[in-house]
Amino acid sequence: MKCTRCKEPAEVKLRAHNSAFCRACFLFFFQRRVGRAIEHEKMFDRSSRILVAVSGGKDSLALWDVLASEGYQTVGFHLALGIGGYSQRSRERCESFAEKHGLELSVHALADEGLAIPEIVSATRRPACSACGTIKRHYFDAAALELGCDVIATGHNLDDEAARLLGNVLHWQTEYLARQKPVIQPRHEKFVRKVKPLYLTSEFETATYAFMKRIEYVVEECPNAIGASQLDYKAVLDRLENTSPGTKVGFVRDFVVRGSRAFEAPATERADTGGTCSGCGMPAFGTLCSFCSLRAEVDRKLALRTRPVSPAVTE
């Protein structure tokens, strides 16, 4: 098998692209593909300061590596979720990568505020992924504001986006379908643009890139992801991709180009987040934002657990 680009012996085959590459040409292909996504969707430019949300996994670290290699202004942000050894290893991978490449990294630990994910789940009985999503959105937005960033870049890859799209279509989650785009524009002055430069780059490709660039990352899945519907959707799409290579990229790309418009509300109907949360000062629809509402629920239920029980009165 020869490299499609230079005809030297190939190391990796990409069936979805009907191509094979040697190591040097694959790295070029990967970086150019990410670069083209950034340019085509007008995600950001050289003057932008980019907050890269890094989890310690292959996707976010590969994205950070590409952006740093291309000379973009980046600052990594890692939210330590307090999920035992998994979170500790994730934080170490982010810190090691930043130190090795001389990059700026900001770390925020939820445990320092008594908000570790296991404690939240135990107190509220909410699904871990739901609570985690609420917390991440809040801290990413707050970090971008605090660190003076113009855009938040996440490592969501093609497999993530295809699985999410399939789930949203199966359940006709029209509100979510309207926002399933590689670029989400802010609706408040305290928010910044959110982008997904890897939205057309597969998980296999990011894993290959990380391996070839010798990026050390957390291989294990988040323990809370076990049993998540997202994994079932990924398995279904993997079977389709194996039978018909290119299914995932066509599904996501065509939805972004043609399908997403059908779910967009007219400009006159788009609601802005005009209020301010009385708890944290970030934008909110009501008195409290979703994060502060969650925090208040946790505090309330933990207080009930620790309240002393009055002795029974007997006659």
Kindly report, residue by residue over 173-204, the tens digit of the pLDDT. 999 999 999 999 998 899 999 999 999 999 99
- Give the tokens for residue 57: 């996994």
Q: How many domains does the chain have?
A: 1
Band of pLDDT at residue 307, cut at 50, 70 and 90: low
Q: Is the pLDDT at 273 greater than 60, yes or no?
A: no
Domain of 223: which CATH number?
3.40.50.620
How many angstroms separate the Cα of 209 from the Cα of each of 9, 60, 196, 203, 293?
17, 12, 17, 10, 40
In a domain, 134, yes or no: yes
Check residue 292 and give its pLDDT.
Answer: 94
In a domain, 4, yes or no: no
In a domain, 229, yes or no: yes
- For strand 151-153 and strand 183-184, is the pairing parallel, antiparallel, or unpaired? unpaired
Q: Which domain holds residue 243?
A: 41-268
Helix axes 128-146, 290-306, angle to 10 degrees: 120
Q: Is the pLDDT at 49 greater than 90, yes or no?
A: yes
Put residue 18 in one of left, alpha, beta given phi > 0 → left and psi -120 to 50 → alpha.
left
In a domain, 287, yes or no: no
In a domain, 278, yes or no: no
Residues 6+ apart with CB under 8 A from 178: 260, 263, 264, 265
In a domain, 302, yes or no: no
Kindly report which listed range (31-40, 48-57, 177-186, 270-279) carries the lowest average pLDDT score: 270-279
